[in-house]
Structure 1
Amino acid sequence: MFSVTVRDHVMVAHSFRGEVFGPARNLHGATFVVDASFRRAELDADNIVVDIGRATAKLGEVLGELNYRNLDEEPAFAGINTSTEYLAKVIADRLAERVHAGELGEGAHGLSGITVTLHESHIAWASYERAL
């Protein structure tokens, strides 16, 4: 299996509901380093997994929809605990939509999956892996 990973970051504000979150139930900021890995069994006709420039641009576009936002005020997240794990899924799903729409190029239709990892810090991160 081949893979290519691109990286960016996103800054959000949010709060949580539920005792398990302790002080994070209060509004707070989070800066995530975001890795998006694209995978496929065989390289495309150009011997690449995906166009790195397009993958980087589309990751930036997806993150731009979230960046500097209070997620508690976004209709798409109403009533949802926007945990690191949940946000990894949202980002992966939005990238998958762009792959299916052809926005990462024709060769990207041969991708078999995406993994998105959000790094909360140098000691904690969460990932979501999905098929395409």
Structure 2
Amino acid sequence: MTFTVTVRDHLMIAHSLRGEVFGPAQRLHGATFVVDAGFRADTLDEHGVVVDIGRASDEVRAIVGALSYRNLDDEPDLQDVNTTTERLCQLIGDRLAARVREGAFGEAGLTGIVVTLHESHIAWASYEVAL
């Protein structure tokens, strides 16, 4: 049995993608994503929740906010990364997992995080990280 609590935010960026496979997306362009971050646990805490929704929302907002309204091509940490939707999911998921491991979520018994970036109403990608 697994419980999941999901919070939502959004991300607006500029970037270009490397490789012929991306066609016109090789040129600088903008992208807006709906970001869903799902927090998973096998059991509920003493309050009957997976995670405090306010705390989860604040952590997601901080991570997404650090990337928002930026040209990712100019970000030193992303110079060697093709900032595909999948890679952005991984980046956000790994940063959230690090925050869990640092204790930012208190004593939550989280077992995993899944991050989904919705490019549109017909296309999205996800990344799941175990804790």
**TM class, shorter-chain normalised?**
over 0.9
For 1:57-72, list aligned pairs within 5 A: 57-72=58-73
Is it true that 1:125 corresponds to 2:127 in the alignment?
no
Q: Secondary structure at the match of 1:65?
A: helix
Q: Secondary structure at the match of 1:64?
A: helix
- Which residue identity does 1:117 align to in structure 2? T
Q: TM-score, normalised by structure 2?
A: 0.97
Question: Match of 2:37?
Answer: 36
Report the CA distance between 1:79 and its aligned residue. 2.5
Residue identity (%): 65
CA distance in structure 1 between the partners assigned to 2:105 and 2:73 by the alignment: 30
Q: Secondary structure at the match of 1:23?
A: helix
CA distance in structure 1 between the partners assigned to 2:38 and 2:124 by the alignment: 15
- Which residue identity does 2:128 align to in structure 1? E
Report the CA distance between 1:27 and its aligned residue. 0.2
CA distance in structure 2 between the partners assigned to 1:25 and 1:35 by the alignment: 26
Question: Match of 2:114?
Answer: 115
Report the CA distance between 1:105 and its aligned residue. 2.0
Is it true that 1:79 corresponds to 2:52 in the alignment?
no
CA distance in structure 2 between the partners assigned to 1:56 and 1:130 by the alignment: 18
Alignment RMSD (CA, Å):
0.6
Q: What's the CA shift string for 1:21-46, capped at 9, x where partnerless?
A: 00000000000000000001111111
CA distance in structure 2 between the partners assigned to 1:87 and 1:125 by the alignment: 11
**Structure 1 stretches (4+) deviating beyond 4 angstroms?**
none
Specify every segment of 5 or more residues in structure 1 that has no aligned partner in the other structure, as ranges.
Answer: none
